[in-house]
């Protein structure tokens, strides 16, 4: 396997095993020492723990049947860009919004820097704000 495909595979594995399945062992194996989440809100922790907290205490309890669909990936050097959708049914409290039972889809563009098979940096943009606003509508 070439270096290019192995870095993309790390990102695919993270999305499947960590985000979809909530596998703590995979998370520990895929996060590099000194990981920095550049997409963390201002003033919020930006280490690996904050990423795990988002998946386990925000997304997974709120969205049943959580799925990640990677639409495309591009790679330049050690950075992998993914355009993806995180989706599921809103069956639990989600950032202050009571369960609605609606299907939700969060569009995401992530850039992940991978070194030695592990995440060392993350940047990202998503439509979470718009999704939460839509859930607040009757």
Task: Please tell me the predicted confidence (pLDDT) of residue 52.
Answer: 95
How does pLDDT run across 102-126, given as a tens digit for each residue?
999 999 999 999 999 999 999 999 9
Task: Please tell me the predicted confidence (pLDDT) of residue 138.
Answer: 84
The architecture (CATH level 2) of 3-135 comes to Roll (3.10)
Mean pLDDT of 79-86: 98
Task: Please tell me the predicted confidence (pLDDT) of residue 25.
Answer: 97
Beta strand extents in the chain (DSSP E only):
31-37, 63-76, 79-90, 103-115, 118-126
pLDDT at 8 over 90: yes
Q: Between 73 and 3, whose confidence is greater?
A: 73
pLDDT at 29 over 90: yes
Task: Please tell me the predicted confidence (pLDDT) of residue 5.
Answer: 60
How does pLDDT run across 45-65, given as a tens digit for each residue?
999 999 999 999 999 999 999
β 79-90/63-76 pair status: antiparallel
């Amino acid at each position: 396997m070439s270096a290019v495909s192995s870095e993309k595979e790390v990102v695919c594995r993270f999305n499947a095993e960590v985000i979809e399945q909530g596998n703590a062992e995979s998370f520990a194996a895929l996060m590099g020492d000194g990981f920095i989440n550049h997409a963390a809100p201002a003033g919020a922790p930006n280490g690996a723990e904050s990423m795990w907290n988002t998946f386990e205490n925000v997304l997974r309890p709120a969205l049943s049947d959580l799925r990640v669909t990677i639409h495309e990936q591009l790679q330049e050097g050690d950075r992998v860009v993914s355009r993806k959708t995180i989706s599921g049914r809103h069956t639990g409290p989600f950032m202050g919004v009571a369960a609605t039972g609606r299907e939700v889809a969060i569009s995401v563009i992530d850039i992940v820097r991978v070194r030695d098979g592990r995440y060392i940096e993350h940047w990202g943009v998503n439509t979470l704000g718009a999704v939460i606003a839509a859930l607040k509508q009757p």
